[in-house]
Chain A
Amino acid sequence: MKRRDFIRFGSAGLTAAAVLGAARSRQLQAYAHPVPDPRTDGDRVVPSFCELCFWKCGILAHVKDGRVTKIQGNPNDPLSGGRLCPRGAGGTGLLYDPDRLQRPMIRRGARGSQRFEEVSWDAALNRVAEGMQAITARHGAEALALYSHGYGGSWFEHLFKAYGSPNITHPSYAQCRGPRDAGFELTFGEGAGSPEITDIAHARCLVLIGSHLGENMHNTQVQDFASSIRAGGDLIVVDPRFSTAAGKARHWLPIKPGADLALLLAWMHVLITEGLYDRDYIAQYAYGFEQLKAHVEPLTPEWAHPRTGIDPAVIRQTAHLMAGARPATLVHPGRHVTWYGNDTQRSRAIAILNGLLGSWGRRGGLYSSSQLEVMPYPKPAYPTVTAAIRDRADPTLYPLGHELAQGIRDASIRTEGKEPGIRGWMVYGSNLPTTLPDQRATYRAIQDLELLVTVDVLPMEIVGWSDVVLPEATYLERWDDLNTPAYREPFVSLRQAAVDPLFESKPGSWIAKELGKRLGLASYFPWNDAKEYVETRVRATGLDWERLRKDGTLRGSPQPLYYEEGVAPSFDTESGKIELYSAQLAGLGFDPMPTFHDGEVEDPPAGYYRLLTGRAPTHTFGRTTNNRLLSEVFAENAVWVNRAVAAKWRLQDGERIYLKNQDGVRSTYSAPVKVTERIHPDAVYLVHGYGHKAKGLRFAQARGIDDAELITRYKVDPIMGGTGMNVNFVTFLRASDVDAEAAKEVVT
């Protein structure tokens, strides 16, 4: 039996939705000068779901006189519960961004010159279809690739599947979550999901390995994080940076960057040698305990100490805390885990630790999700594609990896004696120069393409390099497919347009269908539009369409979440058990149990510091840094430098600097120094998503430093092909010196 069961609506139907609008308990007394009403309540309130990040929280868009005035959380929605993160609340800053793409455009200058001619939709779509067909005629549909990130991407994935291309990729795999899911699948037979199947709210001990909840603002997780704190749960945070979460932790372990695996192994050592692990659970469900026991036997806290910088007594104490709260101890799987190229093994260590604590399938650990099954819209079967995805040079590489975004890029580069396997890209919502490591390779690939089409809302860097630009309507102006994630409870939520598209922008669903018509694929798009598409699916499933439109979300009956509630343990692994020892990995030539290899993670050279990156709560990478509303609180990133390091370099707080990396690449722009005690002296920290070069992003351009341009090196995870990006080192250049030098050059 699969752990994730699909739930069908039976006669039991839906539970009653929460009633909106609590009754007013107290009346105001009359007073002299009433506070003026800013009148931002909508004439209409349209429920939908958010797209400022990818969590898909239920929202209520207030519409007044045809404009969205404000966005609140939808109390009916299980992901938002009526509350939003700042990005969700700031969606109007995207809708009314004065820099939005307004009309279709075709490139008129050299690639990357950002010179375009505005054309009709018909001309732009014809140009795309002709370009795709020309490539297909000569090289087959397998010479085309789709990069996608975001919910509207589903329409283009459908288009590419109908067209017969195997190259559909999401950088959210190899540049983000991939290693984690590989590690969990190897151990439990199931990934950690999105939304993650973490029962944070009920954790009595929450362990974060580099996860910066509270700065990383996936709404429900942060809500649950606060619930756990309110309930008095213990918090252990492992991070070289004193993060927001670390500031709330009972134990902050300021680990040496790159040494997490040594700590995880030492924790296993303590749990096993002191007999603190869940013996019954391991006996019943786990495979390879004796091997693991022997493996970690020598990996004492004293062994870990010089590698991690963490006091052995603290390692023991925190292990005891974890054991004391088990099985309601959750070692969080993390999300953006492409750090050092050994990330699958670190993720596996996290998974194994959860196994030893008996937290998988248990309350306060990792729950068993359920998902609503909605009927598909009837459409023809996709053609059979025999060509393999062109995401790696050698099919024997990265045996557990799939859809490697950097591999598809590399297959697009023309090298001496080798024709590129990929000739054309369609890019939906993925700003590849800042998404993929090694920008030079990305720009080389782009220069070699015969066709680059982008579908986007804003003039991101990738747009400037495109041949054809198709301006999409924002999430507040369009319908999209239904959201039915695997979650704590089965539910379906609706994206519906709150207002009409501005300018000549069009919903992705319309763009994909129009391209389909021009590519001879009209039969794959039998729906009139996205609204009719979702309405048909909802009605065919027997759900109440009118109520879904009104409430935004329909929730199914509660399902058991834990083994304690009757979920039957089952593990989709080779042994059918939790694999502490992986014969599969051994067979592929990898460590069957996570192993810390001294020297595998390189130390910074003298005078250089490891570049670490993360999130600001107000931003989703570079997608939101042009949002004027969100930038009211976070307009520019800063370089976090440890106070002692700053003193050594005589850097003042607020002074502007450039960063130069180990390969001599200097940041295009400067950023202020943040002199702080909150960062390990071996590292500097930057919030990702700044330093835009695209001229069209008139607010974000030249604001702060783009970490991505400094990530010239990456270490590929040999198991699944994830790109470890925390392997770059930077040093400081005073902006005053650099700018004076530049001025001199201009004069001479």
Chain B
Amino acid sequence: MKGPSYGMVLDTRTCVGCSACVIACKTENDVPDGVTRNWIFTEVSGTYPDLSMSIRSERCNHCENAPCVAVCPTGASYYGAGGTVQVDADKCTGCKACIAACPYGARFVDPRTDTVDKCTFCLHRLENGTPTTACQEICPTQSIYFGDLNDPESDVSRLLASRASYTLLPDAGTRPKHFFLR
């Protein structure tokens, strides 16, 4: 039996970009002042009044072919449970090669430890028996879904099967596991 492959799906149709996900992530994960593990991106196209807009809550894409893992000289960046991309702070020297390599700007230096930090998909919660990420749990519009992409019955799999979706910078060859529903 195949192990789990954790991924995330964001519904751009309902996301209002309120940033509850950003704040909940900060308090859940004790993220230091001045940095965040997730953020809102607003894309506007057209000319007044013929406009369209897409709003996305974004974070680490937990790529299957992650340049940050490939470039890390110490093995601090690694593929963890469910194929997620994680950072082992004990091995991180703060060289920032991964920050330069990530095409999504998902990583930052934690000023308290001088090591690199980013979204973990809240795997500590999963370990403690909570099957949701903090951003998913707080989201007032229920736009964030986390789950096992290998389980055809999971919310993420069923949404991806039924709705059109895209990933960010598909040409970068990173094979993100964070999907956005159109």
Q: Which residue of A lies closest to B47 (CB)?
A: A677
Q: Is A176 an interface residue (CB 8 A)?
A: no
Taking a contact as CB atoms under 8 Å apart, the answer to whether B51 and A36 are in contact is no
> In whole Å, how far is A26's beta carbon from the nearest beta carbon of chain B?
7
Using a Cβ–Cβ cut-off of 8 Å, how many residues does chain A contribute to the interface with B? 67
Taking a contact as CB atoms under 8 Å apart, the answer to whether B47 and A634 are in contact is no
Which one of B3, B18, B33, B129 lies within 8 Å of A632 (CB-CB)?
B33
Taking a contact as CB atoms under 8 Å apart, the answer to whether B127 and A38 are in contact is no
Which one of A31, A223, A678 lies within 8 Å of B44 (CB-CB)?
A678
Which one of A33, A71, A246 lies within 8 Å of B27 (CB-CB)?
A71
Which one of A31, A633, A679 lies within 8 Å of B81 (CB-CB)?
A31
Taking a contact as CB atoms under 8 Å apart, the answer to whether A86 and B23 are in contact is yes
Which one of B26, B124, B142 lies within 8 Å of A83 (CB-CB)?
B142
Q: Is A229 an interface residue (CB 8 A)?
A: yes
Which one of B16, B44, B82, B129 lies within 8 Å of A617 (CB-CB)?
B16
Which one of A39, A248, A633, A678 lies within 8 Å of B40 (CB-CB)?
A633
Check A229/B14 contact, CB under 8 A, given A41-B128, A72-B138, A678-B51. Answer: yes
Tell me the residues in window 222-272 of chain A with beta carbons closer than 8 Å to chain B beta carbons: 222-223, 225-226, 229-230, 242, 244-248, 252, 254
Which one of A26, A38, A86, A88 lies within 8 Å of B29 (CB-CB)?
A38
Taking a contact as CB atoms under 8 Å apart, the answer to whether B4 and A29 are in contact is yes
Taking a contact as CB atoms under 8 Å apart, the answer to whether B138 and A632 are in contact is no
Taking a contact as CB atoms under 8 Å apart, the answer to whether A38 and B34 are in contact is no
Taking a contact as CB atoms under 8 Å apart, the answer to whether A680 and B138 are in contact is no
Using a Cβ–Cβ cut-off of 8 Å, how many residues does chain B contribute to the interface with A? 58
> In whole Å, how far is A634's beta carbon from the nearest beta carbon of chain B?
7
Tell me the residues in window 39-75 of chain A with beta carbons closer than 8 Å to chain B beta carbons: 39-41, 69-73
Q: Which residue of B lies closest to A631 (CB)?
A: B33
Q: Is A84 an interface residue (CB 8 A)?
A: yes
Check A85/B20 contact, CB under 8 A, given A36-B89, A229-B14, A248-B13. Answer: yes
Check A677/B141 contact, CB under 8 A, given A71-B27, A633-B23. Answer: no
Taking a contact as CB atoms under 8 Å apart, the answer to whether A618 and B18 are in contact is yes
Q: Is A746 an interface residue (CB 8 A)?
A: no
Taking a contact as CB atoms under 8 Å apart, the answer to whether B80 and A31 are in contact is yes
Taking a contact as CB atoms under 8 Å apart, the answer to whether B14 and A28 are in contact is no
Check A85/B127 contact, CB under 8 A, given A33-B78, A40-B27. Answer: no
Taking a contact as CB atoms under 8 Å apart, the answer to whether B28 and A40 are in contact is yes
Taking a contact as CB atoms under 8 Å apart, the answer to whether A35 and B140 are in contact is no
Taking a contact as CB atoms under 8 Å apart, the answer to whether A73 and B81 are in contact is no
Interface string of B124-146 (1 = CB under 8 A from A): 10111111000001111111000
Taking a contact as CB atoms under 8 Å apart, the answer to whether B44 and A632 are in contact is no
Interchain CA distance A633-B16 in the complex, whole Å: 14
Q: Which residues does chain A contribute within 8 Å of B24, judged by CB atoms?
A: 70, 72, 84, 89
Q: Which residue of B lies closest to A248 (CB)?
A: B13
> In whole Å, how far is A79's beta carbon from the nearest beta carbon of chain B?
11
Which one of B14, B27, B36 lies within 8 Å of A230 (CB-CB)?
B14
Q: Which residues does chain A contribute within 8 Å of B114, judged by CB atoms?
A: none
Interchain CA distance A642-B39 in the complex, whole Å: 25
Q: Which residue of B lies closest to A244 (CB)?
A: B16
Q: Which residues does chain B contribute within 8 Å of A248, judged by CB atoms?
A: 13-14, 16
Interchain CA distance A40-B143 in the complex, whole Å: 24
Q: Is A363 an interface residue (CB 8 A)?
A: no
Q: Is A420 an interface residue (CB 8 A)?
A: no
Taking a contact as CB atoms under 8 Å apart, the answer to whether B141 and A226 are in contact is yes
Q: Which residues does chain A contribute within 8 Å of B19, judged by CB atoms?
A: 86, 617-618, 633-634
Q: Which residues does chain B contribute within 8 Å of A82, judged by CB atoms?
A: 137
Interface string of B100-143 (1 = CB under 8 A from A): 00000000000000000000100110111111000001111111
Q: Is A133 an interface residue (CB 8 A)?
A: no
Q: Which residues does chain A contribute within 8 Å of B20, judged by CB atoms?
A: 83-86, 88-89, 617
Taking a contact as CB atoms under 8 Å apart, the answer to whether A222 and B141 are in contact is yes
Q: Which residues does chain B contribute within 8 Å of A677, judged by CB atoms?
A: 44, 46-48, 51
Q: Is A195 an interface residue (CB 8 A)?
A: no
Taking a contact as CB atoms under 8 Å apart, the answer to whether B33 and A33 are in contact is no
Q: Which residues does chain A contribute within 8 Å of B55, judged by CB atoms?
A: 244, 247
Which one of A38, A88, A634 lies within 8 Å of B28 (CB-CB)?
A38
| Sample of 10 further A-B pairs with CB below 8 A, known A226-B141, A244-B53 | A22-B131, A26-B131, A33-B88, A70-B27, A214-B17, A226-B142, A242-B51, A254-B49, A632-B34, A633-B39
> Can you sample 7 A-B contacts with CB below 8 Å?
A28-B127, A31-B80, A33-B78, A37-B124, A69-B30, A248-B16, A618-B19
